[in-house]
């Protein structure tokens, strides 16, 4: 059964986020007290282009299995260091389609909107980390491993250890693109 392994937030636009015992998700806004919460985009580069865009990046989720992979490559990465709000365990986040619903704990629901595009700030954490979170498929296309983004559809309080249930979208499944 997939679970929430750890939770994080930051009231300012720092790359990494502080660990929390619980988070309150607010429908249509995101993580209460997090700098990326809001109806419109909060990511600095996107705000500079068009501050009226809808915020498809209210919640950032990363699978803890990525940290295991990175440790095998010599990187000491811990939950929250890559800026995620929710660290999961036992769920292949990157294989989810756009529109999948993640039921976190008893109340909260996050709709998957797309992939997080890793940025060069990762190399400030550890040289070579950016390259380590970008794989390539058999055709040479990039595989972005740095987690997924979502919007809060139903609010609620979530805690480490809460279970995650996936509800797949109806109809054709659209693969994740960068948001």
Q: Which of the four pLDDT bands, split at 50, 70 and 90, describes residue 88?
A: very high
Instruction: Establish if 98 belongs to a structural domain.
Output: yes
Residue for token digits 């700030």? 121
pLDDT tens digit string along 27-49? Answer: 999 999 999 999 998 877 777 78
Give the DSSP letter string of 133-155: TEEE-TTS-EEE-S-EEEEEEE-
pTM of the complete model: 0.95
Query: What is d(CA 28, CA 75) in angstroms, rounded to the nearest whole number?
Result: 35
Instruction: Establish if 130 belongs to a structural domain.
Output: no
Query: What is d(CA 110, CA 155) in angstroms, rounded to the nearest whole number?
Result: 9
Residue 60 domain boundaries: 3-117+144-167
Instruction: Establish if 133 belongs to a structural domain.
Output: no
CA-to-CA dists, residue 20 to 7, 137, 162, angstroms: 5, 35, 14
């Amino acid at each position: 059964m997939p679970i929430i392994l750890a939770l994080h937030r930051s009231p300012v636009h720092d790359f990494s986020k502080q660990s929390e015992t619980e988070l309150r998700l607010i429908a249509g806004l995101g993580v209460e007290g997090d700098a990326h919460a809001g109806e419109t985009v909060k990511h600095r580069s996107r705000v500079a282009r068009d501050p009226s865009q809808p915020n498809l990046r209210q919640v950032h989720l990363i699978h803890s299995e990525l940290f295991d992979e990175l440790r095998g490559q010599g990187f000491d990465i811990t939950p929250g260091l890559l800026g995620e709000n929710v660290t999961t365990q036992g769920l292949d986040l990157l294989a989810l389609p756009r529109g999948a619903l993640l039921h976190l704990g008893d109340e909260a629901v996050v709709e998957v909107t797309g992939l997080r595009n890793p940025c060069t700030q990762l190399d400030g954490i550890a040289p070579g980390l950016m390259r380590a979170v970008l794989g390539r498929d058999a055709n040479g296309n990039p595989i972005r491993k740095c987690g997924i983004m979502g919007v809060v559809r139903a609010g609620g309080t979530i805690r480490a250890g809460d279970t995650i249930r996936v509800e797949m979208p109806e109809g054709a499944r659209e693969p994740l693109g960068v948001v």
